[in-house]
């Protein structure tokens, strides 16, 4: 259903700012500093090994600068660790992640769509190793002709939190209102559209298909 790939960012934050903000949640700078101190290597010496200036390394450690992947790979090779060292997070491995409302970004169903059938926000975008995807979706008013059926592997659960909408599945229209829910095999062609006075809002959960 929803794919976060190749999507436009909302106005108010550039794509670079969003990437910087998301990378900052991994605490790469503090991990680099702990690793360097553990190995008892001075910034100047680390700079000689990596070809990076001590000033730049200091900015990386203090979080004033977020490293590019080539830069991080160069540092990882010096310390003989994998890139996963900098992106690993024990708190995320314990499967507890808070996502604040203001941290989420709303995307259209397709970046090239002149008339999106829905807009969505990823409710757990920063959680790692998820076996499900959770979204808050908004379905604006649309006609049947303005929506296109689509498919994706796995299963889908949808719970309407506001308004009215129609989901078409197995060639039939099913009208849903606030408080209604639906579960279905999402490999079957399906589409959505908002109806009523103001469309609808829903929580959507998708899971991968059977192995």
CATH of the domain at 73: 1.10.260.40
Do 162 and 81 lie in one domain? The reply is no
- Which range has the top average pLDDT, 17-21, 59-63, 101-105? 59-63
Task: Determine, yes or no, domain membership for 5.
Answer: no
Do 159 and 189 lie in one domain? The reply is yes
Q: What is the mean pLDDT of residues 13-31?
A: 76
Quick one: pLDDT at residue 7?
Answer: 38
Instruction: Point out which residues pair with 202 in neighbouring strands.
Output: 137, 160
Task: Determine, yes or no, domain membership for 9.
Answer: no
For 64-118, what is each residue's pLDDT tens digit?
Answer: 888 888 888 888 888 877 888 888 765 555 667 788 888 888 888 887 788 999 9
What's the total number of domains in the chain? 2
State if pTM tops 0.85.
no
**Domain hosting residue 79, numbered range:** 27-88
Do 145 and 188 lie in one domain? The reply is yes
Helical H segments across the chain, by residue range? 15-24, 28-38, 43-50, 54-61, 69-79, 84-87, 90-93
Task: Determine, yes or no, domain membership for 144.
Answer: yes
pLDDT: which is higher, 18 or 156: 156
**Which one-letter DSSP state was computed for residue 141?**
B
Do 81 and 108 lie in one domain? The reply is no
Do 116 and 201 lie in one domain? The reply is yes
- Which phi and psi angles does 118 have, rounded to 5°? -160, 165
Do 163 and 203 lie in one domain? The reply is yes
Q: What is the mean pLDDT of residues 14-30?
A: 76
Task: Determine, yes or no, domain membership for 157.
Answer: yes
For 112-169, what is each residue's pLDDT tens digit?
Answer: 788 999 999 989 876 666 788 899 999 999 999 999 899 988 999 999 999 999 999 9
Task: Look at residues 41, 58, 88 and tell me which one is the last residue of a structural domain.
Answer: 88
């Amino acid at each position: 259903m929803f794919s976060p790939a190749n999507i436009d960012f909302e106005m108010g934050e550039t794509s670079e700012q969003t990437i910087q903000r998301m990378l900052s949640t991994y605490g790469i700078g503090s991990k680099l500093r702990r690793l360097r101190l553990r190995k008892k290597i001075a910034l100047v010496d680390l700079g000689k090994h990596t070809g990076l200036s001590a000033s730049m390394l200091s900015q990386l450690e203090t979080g004033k600068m977020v490293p590019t992947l080539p830069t991080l790979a160069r540092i990882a090779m010096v310390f003989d660790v994998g890139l996963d060292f900098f992106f690993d997070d024990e708190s995320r491995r314990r499967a507890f992640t808070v996502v604040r409302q203001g941290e989420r970004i709303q995307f259209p169903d397709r970046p090239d769509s002149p008339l999106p059938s829905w807009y969505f926000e990823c409710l757990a975008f920063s959680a790692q190793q998820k076996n499900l995807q959770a979204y808050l979706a908004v379905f604006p008013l649309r006609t049947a002709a303005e929506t296109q059926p689509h498919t994706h592997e796995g299963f889908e659960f949808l719970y309407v939190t506001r308004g009215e909408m129609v989901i078409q599945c197995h060639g039939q229209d099913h009208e849903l209102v606030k408080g209604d829910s639906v579960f279905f095999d999402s490999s079957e062609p399906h589409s959505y559209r908002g109806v009523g006075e103001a469309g609808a809002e829903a929580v959507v959960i998708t899971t991968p298909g059977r192995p």
